[in-house]
Structure formats: C-alpha cells, structure tokens
Amino acid sequence: MFDYEKFEVYKKAKAFFAEISVFIENNKKLNNRIADQLYRAALSIPLNIAEGAGRYSKPDKRNYYTIARGSVFECNAIIDILYDKGLMDAPQKGHYYNTLEETSKMLSGLINSLK
C-alpha cells in the first residue's frame, strides 16, 4: 500500500471525484467545456495529493498539497456557477460545498504540518 492511500483526505478526494463524475455523466445539460473543467479540477485533487506524498522534501510535498487545495477552490467556484445557472439544486450544492470545505481544511492541516 502506498502511504497516500492511508490519508483520509485522499479517500475523501477520491470519493468527491467519483460523485462529480456521476453528476457530470447524468447531467446532459452541462456545457462540455464546463463539465471537462470540473472533471479535471476534481481529478486534480487526489492526483496532487498522491504526487505530493511521493516527494521527499517538505517544500515539494507542500507545493503539491497546495495545488490540490487550489483545485478544491476551483471545483467550488464551478459548482457555484452551475448552481447560479440552475444546473444544480441547493441540497446538492450544499453537499458538495461541505465536502470541499472539509477537504480544504484537511489539506490546510497537511500543508501547515510541513512548515
């Protein structure tokens, strides 16, 4: 088992990506460019966590975890826009928001532990 597979934040990021993938597949009204951007941003979160865990130096690890956190913010902004466009209901937006907020806090803790 790779170290990052034990990280709760990695597990949460993978679960979020799985949920977003289903949302994109089931929502045919989504603009392809927005759907692609959301897909790539959501995928970026667990991938950067994994890549960061594979680095040796604290600055390298911190950099990848910071990029993952940036992707969390990007996902939230896209979800906010989808909600404004009427492509997502309030409970769904709230669920994603809570998941992303928790993921962001977990990543912040990871980043701060490497200072």
Distance, in Å, from the CA atom of 39 to the CA atom of 37, rounded to the nearest integer, reads: 5
Q: Reply yes or no on whether the pLDDT at 115 is more than 90.
A: no
Taking only the tens place, the pLDDT of each residue in 33-69 is: 999 999 999 999 999 999 999 999 999 999 999 999 9
The H helix count followed by the E strand count for the chain is 4, 0
Per-residue pLDDT, averaged over 80-108, amounts to 98
According to CATH, the superfamily of the domain at 3-112 is 23S rRNA-intervening sequence (1.20.1440.60)
Distance, in Å, from the CA atom of 68 to the CA atom of 54, rounded to the nearest integer, reads: 14
**Which structure tokens are listed for 22?**
């289903």
The pTM is what? 0.96
Domain boundaries defined on the chain = 3-112
